Amino acid sequence: MIIKYQGIKVYYTSAGIGKPIVFLHGFLETGKIWEPFVDELSLKRQVICIDLPGHGRTGTFGEVHSMELMADVVNAVLEELNVQKTTLVGHSMGGYVSMAFAENYREKISGLVLMNSTPEADSEERKITRDRAINLVKRNKNAYIGMAISNLVSPDNAISFEKEIEELKQEAFRISAKGIVAALHGMKIRTDRTKVLKELTFYKIIISGKNDPILSSESVKIVANLSKCPLILIEGGHLSYMENSYVIREIVHFID
């Protein structure tokens, strides 16, 4: 389904009836990553998957897609669907967007799952990596995508999930360079929301891969501690929804 926000198309899917749960994909992904879970979960709940700005079938809003802008887009979809309160599950960048949403629309959240994600801002070192990535995308977008996605899982899982990773790349190749650069800028300027996470009193959890190459489990342990947020550390790398798909099902049972 499509709505327009600030005159730009926003694509989302909604299936099932019941307590809403919104899934937000990460950088270079689309709402498609959640497809393997939708049929089962939508037997009991309203399952909403949104293509975030610049990704999938959602348009690009400008040079920078801040996490706040992305959260406003999520809110526009919720308003369209008349959803008053929802659980949010955010993978990586989707988790950063969830944190911006938690800050700006706190009354609309009933539960929060940060998957391979963090409430923290980029370190200075990471900001430099973002600038390098922006230059690379401008020079050779597809080479950047191929490399970035290959680096997300352990060598073992790269073999076990070869087909899924190839599909992820094919889907990502369709994302425009402008959309990728806007997300990189947005992630780079995001603020630290550790305090926001700490203050959330409803069901909240961080799920992290022990060998996540993007967010080290040591740094996630520290931030989980600081934000008083329960942490589940599982095997695998940055793509827990793929590498450990059972986790999604378990979480949803927990939330219920």
Using CB under 6 A as the criterion, which residues of the chain lie in contact with ligand MLT when the complex forms? 26-27, 92-93, 187, 214
Q: Is 4 helix (H, G, I), strand (E, B) or coil?
A: strand
Nearer Cβ to ligand MLT (41/187): 187
**Which are the contacts of 236, defined by CB distance < 8 A and separation ≥ 6?**
153, 154, 157, 209, 210, 211, 212, 243, 244
Q: Residue 47 CB, nearest distance to ligand MLT (Å)?
A: 20
Nearer Cβ to ligand MLT (180/252): 180
Q: Residue 256 CB, nearest distance to ligand MLT (Å)?
A: 26
Nearer Cβ to ligand MLT (136/214): 214
- Neighbouring CB atoms inside 10 A of 96's CB total 30
Q: Residue 214 CB, nearest distance to ligand MLT (Å)?
A: 5
Alpha carbon separation from 140 to 44, 173, 185, 256 (Å, rounded): 44, 11, 17, 45
Nearer Cβ to ligand MLT (20/237): 237
Nearer Cβ to ligand MLT (106/127): 127
**Which are the contacts of 108, defined by CB distance < 8 A and separation ≥ 6?**
75, 78, 83, 84, 85, 86, 101
Give me 3's structure tokens: 């709505």
Q: Residue 190 CB, nearest distance to ligand MLT (Å)?
A: 9
Q: Residue 182 CB, nearest distance to ligand MLT (Å)?
A: 14
Amino acid code (one letter) for 192? D
